[in-house]
């Protein structure tokens, strides 16, 4: 990859007016990879000013997680990976070497200007710099401090590092994902990280609400493993209620039948029947009107008990016609169903396009001047999300932030550069 200039201007990102509900909220983001950045991108989309702290000369690990990378005008890879782009818009990048006393002082001064600090260092990793919660809470009593770790700040495994894949395995989701006789299977994206980031956003907003109602800041301890256990949802509840372990069912649902992918004459489609009326409508269209009155299939509980027989019968029916036949016919009868789309087909879908789930933002390194990103799913009538900053280049806003928030003049900033603090 070509080395990029770390002091590029913000470009045209400032032209977008910030009308978000979190306008005026400032986040000191000392997280990297996926969970923390997911959280702060959500807050940034909602209007918060997110200051992303990165290591000078290195930055967020995900900048190097490619290919693919953004291409420059000559078709060469830049420093910006697609992975990094996915969760880092609406942030400003400031490089700080926190191993140096001057860097630690910058973080403390910025904390005094911020409402929230979020970090995902190893447990105890910031203590030696005096930047852990215990080292900052007395000086900044109104600061909401959020720590994200693999296993939490306490417990026998708290000292261990973790990545999403590990947590998917340890948190049970892989045991219920995949074909019944197949190997354990992870979800195709880093869902444990993403969900933890979403829980983090919710908890931060709750803490801000508490503070603004007359309280103070507080400490938030979020663990990837806890989050993974929480979103086991019905599978977890099934076990806790029955004390019977849950197993892989492929595309089938443990509590609803028929609710899975079925083969057609040319591909597959998903049938998602949630009640007896929908089942009756499906059977009528499938020219099997007798099935809903069969004692084995009258209720959902009956269908769950006899799922193997019913699924075989439905597969025999669906293979007789094309996917289009089933999708169009069932949609007209309001029977929930859908295609099994590729990623390309998702973003080609007119519904996805209409909902603004693919966006373009100006970027200083891109050969065509823009990067294409996944849009926010948050649709708010009075305070819509805004796209103000493309994912920043490394240190892109260092000078801007040091001058704006800490009042440092050019000589002070150049001295910090010479000392390799920023």
Assigned domain for 387 exists: yes
Quote the pTM value. Answer: 0.92
CATH code of the domain containing 181: 3.40.50.10540
Mean pLDDT of 173-198: 95
Tell me phi and psi for residue 195, to 5 degrees.
Answer: -65, -40
Assigned domain for 238 exists: no
- 317 plus 214 within the same structural domain: no
HEC sequence for 102-152: HHHHHHHHHHCCCCEEEECCCCCCCHHHCCCHHHHCCCCCCCEEEEEECCC
| Total number of domains in the chain | 2
- 106 plus 196 within the same structural domain: yes
The mean pLDDT value of the chain amounts to: 94
Helices in 157-267 by DSSP H: which ranges?
A: 164-170, 191-212, 224-230, 233-242
DSSP for 246-290, please give it: P---TT--SS-SSEEEEE-SSSEEEEE--SHHHHHHHHHHTT-TT
- 55 plus 160 within the same structural domain: yes
Residue 12 has pLDDT above 70, yes or no: no
Mean pLDDT of 273-290: 97
- Of 284, 305, 339, the last residue of a domain is 339
Burial class (CB in 10 A: 0-12, 13-18, 19+), 417: middle
- 329 plus 375 within the same structural domain: no
- 136 plus 46 within the same structural domain: yes
DSSP 47: T
Longest Cα–Cα distance in the chain:
84
Assigned domain for 68 exists: yes
- 187 plus 335 within the same structural domain: no
Residue 8 has pLDDT above 90, yes or no: no
- 28 plus 128 within the same structural domain: yes
Assigned domain for 346 exists: no
Tens of pLDDT along 84-139?
Answer: 999 999 999 999 999 999 999 999 999 999 999 999 999 999 999 999 999 999 99
Mean pLDDT of 250-269: 95
- 123 plus 225 within the same structural domain: yes
Mean pLDDT of 340-359: 97
- 138 plus 89 within the same structural domain: yes
- Of 288, 315, 339, the last residue of a domain is 339
- 209 plus 332 within the same structural domain: no
Tens of pLDDT along 351-378?
Answer: 999 999 999 999 999 999 999 999 999 9
Task: Give 15's pLDDT tier (boundaries 50, 70, 90).
Answer: low
- Give every CB contact of residue 296 below 8 A, 6+ residues apart in sequence: 302, 303, 305, 306, 309, 310
Question: How far is residue 302's CA from residue 362's CA, in Å, rounded to a whole number?
Answer: 56
- Of 283, 317, 339, the last residue of a domain is 339
Assigned domain for 162 exists: yes
The sign one gets for the Cα dihedral 399, 405, 409, 413 is negative
Element housing 40 (H / E): helix 35-45
At 16 the pLDDT is 78
- 169 plus 299 within the same structural domain: no
Contact (Cβ atoms closer than 8 angstroms) between residue 199 and residue 35? no
Mean pLDDT of 200-225: 98
CATH code of the domain containing 311: 3.30.1540.10
Assigned domain for 127 exists: yes
Residue 384 has pLDDT above 60, yes or no: yes
Assigned domain for 344 exists: no
Task: Give 300's pLDDT tier (boundaries 50, 70, 90).
Answer: very high
Which structure tokens are listed for 3?
A: 């080395």
Residue 10 has pLDDT above 80, yes or no: no
Bond before 41 cis per omega within 30 degrees: no
Assigned domain for 243 exists: no
- Active centre residues (catalytic): 193
Q: Give the SS3 label for residue 118.
A: strand
For 109, the domain range is: 11-231+352-418
**Whole-number percent of the chain with pLDDT over 90:** 95
Element housing 3 (H / E): none
- 49 plus 160 within the same structural domain: yes
Mean pLDDT of 35-60: 97
The sign one gets for the Cα dihedral 227, 50, 369, 78 is negative
């Amino acid at each position: 990859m070509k080395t990029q200039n770390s002091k590029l201007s913000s470009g045209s990102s400032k032209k977008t007016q910030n009308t978000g509900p979190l306008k005026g909220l400032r986040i000191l983001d000392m997280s990297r990879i996926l969970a923390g950045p997911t959280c702060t991108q959500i807050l940034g989309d909602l209007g918060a000013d997110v200051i992303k702290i990165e290591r000078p000369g290195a930055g967020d690990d995900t900048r190097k997680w490619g290919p693919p990378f953004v291409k420059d005008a000559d078709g060469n890879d830049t420093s910006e990976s697609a992975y990094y782009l996915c969760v880092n818009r609406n942030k400003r990048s400031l490089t700080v070497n926190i191993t140096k006393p001057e860097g630690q002082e910058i973080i403390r001064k910025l904390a005094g200007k911020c409402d929230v600090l979020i970090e995902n260092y190893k447990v105890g990793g910031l203590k030696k710099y005096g930047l852990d919660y215990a080292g900052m809470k007395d000086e900044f009593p109104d600061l909401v401090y959020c720590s994200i770790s693999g296993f939490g700040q306490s417990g026998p495994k708290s000292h261990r590092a973790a990545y999403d894949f590990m947590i998917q395995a340890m948190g049970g989701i892989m045991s219920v994902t995949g074909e019944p006789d197949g190997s354990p299977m992870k979800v195709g994206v880093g869902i444990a990280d993403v969900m933890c980031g979403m829980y983090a956003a919710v908890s931060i907003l709750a803490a801000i609400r508490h503070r603004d109602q007359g309280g103070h800041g507080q400490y938030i301890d979020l663990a990837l493993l806890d989050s993974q256990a929480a979103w086991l949802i019905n599978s977890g509840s099934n076990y806790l209620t029955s004390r019977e372990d849950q197993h892989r069912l492929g595309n089938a649902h443990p509590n609803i039948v028929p609710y899975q992918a079925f083969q057609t004459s040319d591909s597959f489609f998903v049938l998602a029947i949630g009640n007896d009326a929908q089942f009756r409508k499906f059977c009528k269209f499938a020219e099997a009107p007798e099935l809903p009155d069969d004692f084995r299939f009258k209720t959902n509980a009956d269908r769950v008990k006899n799922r193997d027989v019913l699924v075989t019968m439905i597969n025999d029916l669906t293979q007789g016609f094309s996917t289009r036949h089933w999708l169009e016919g069932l949609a007209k009868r309001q029977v929930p169903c859908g295609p099994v789309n590729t990623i390309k087909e998702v973003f080609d879908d007119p519904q996805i396009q209409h909902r603004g789930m693919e966006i373009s933002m100006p970027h200083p390194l891109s050969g065509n001047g823009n990067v294409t990103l996944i849009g926010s799913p948050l649709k708010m009538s009075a305070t819509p999300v805004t796209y103000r900053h493309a994912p920043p280049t490394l240190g892109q806003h260092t000078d801007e932030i040091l001058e704006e928030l800490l009042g440092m003049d050019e000589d002070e900033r150049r001295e910090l550069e010479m000392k390799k603090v920023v």
